[in-house]
């Protein structure tokens, strides 16, 4: 296995992020650096990638693992080109998120946490995505899809099959950092 390292441009971005924080407080850059690492390395964080992030921040790898495993926004195993994250908290649940998840499972032939055989879709449930008034909703890449119905899900699947969502997601997240 090759050594995990950021590209020169991504390393420069990581250094700029780290410099935002006072000396001795570099660990504060952990969340944005995990986003950068996830975008750089195919949408997920391998143990080697997390070790690399720890080395950049001069912290213990376990400190990175604790954070990455806590937040649902970080993927600890490979994901499909289109990561579908369905909100499962109160308002979305009350307005049919479970039905939406079930529809995705039937339509894609996978369960929550799985990826389709073609590597196109991964289905996750996540905690509040902050769009309670338009529940049920999901996030795919940088885009929100709200007021979901099974018909809207079918249309979304068709749209995503025709796009390269991962590159859009990575590009948008890197620009925002």
The strand pairing partners of 138, in sequence order, are 86, 145
pLDDT score for 164: 63
* Residue 82 annotated as part of some ligand binding site: no
- Mean pLDDT in residue range 60-71: 96
Report whether 79 contacts 43 (CB < 8 A).
yes
Same domain, 124 and 91: yes
Please name which of 147, 85, 154 lies closest in space to residue 122, comparing C-alpha atoms: 85
Same domain, 63 and 87: no
- H or E segment and range at residue 126: strand 121-126
Burial of 138 (0-12, 13-18, 19+ CB in 10 A): buried
Which tens digit of pLDDT belongs to each residue from 75-119? 999 999 999 999 999 999 999 999 999 999 999 999 999 999 999
Could you tell me the two tokens for 122?
Answer: 């991964």
The domain of 24 spans 8-70
Could you tell me the two tokens for 166?
Answer: 């991962």
Alpha-carbon distance of 9 to 104, in angstroms, equals 37
* Residue 87 annotated as part of some ligand binding site: yes
Confirm whether 161 is domain-assigned: yes
Q: How far is CA 28 from the centre of its chain?
A: 20
* Number of domains forming the structure of the chain: 2
pTM value is 0.80
């Amino acid at each position: 296995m090759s050594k995990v390292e950021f590209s020169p441009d991504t390393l420069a971005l990581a250094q700029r992020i780290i410099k935002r924080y006072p000396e001795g407080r570099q660990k504060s850059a952990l969340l944005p650096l995990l986003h950068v690492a996830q975008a750089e390395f195919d949408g997920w964080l391998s143990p080697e990638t997390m070790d690399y992030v720890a080395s950049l921040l001069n912290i213990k790898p376990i400190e990175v693992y604790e954070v990455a495993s806590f937040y649902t926004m970080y993927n600890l195993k490979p994901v499909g080109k289109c990561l579908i994250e369905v909100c499962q908290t109160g308002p979305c649940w009350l307005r049919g998120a479970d039905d939406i998840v079930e529809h995705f499972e039937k339509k894609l032939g996978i369960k929550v946490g799985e990826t389709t055989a073609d590597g196109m879709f991964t289905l996750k449930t996540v905690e509040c995505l902050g769009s309670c008034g338009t529940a049920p909703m999901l996030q795919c890449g940088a885009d929100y899809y709200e007021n979901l119905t099974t018909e809207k899900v079918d249309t979304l699947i068709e749209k995503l099959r025709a796009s390269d969502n991962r590159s859009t997601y990575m590009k948008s997240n890197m620009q925002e950092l």
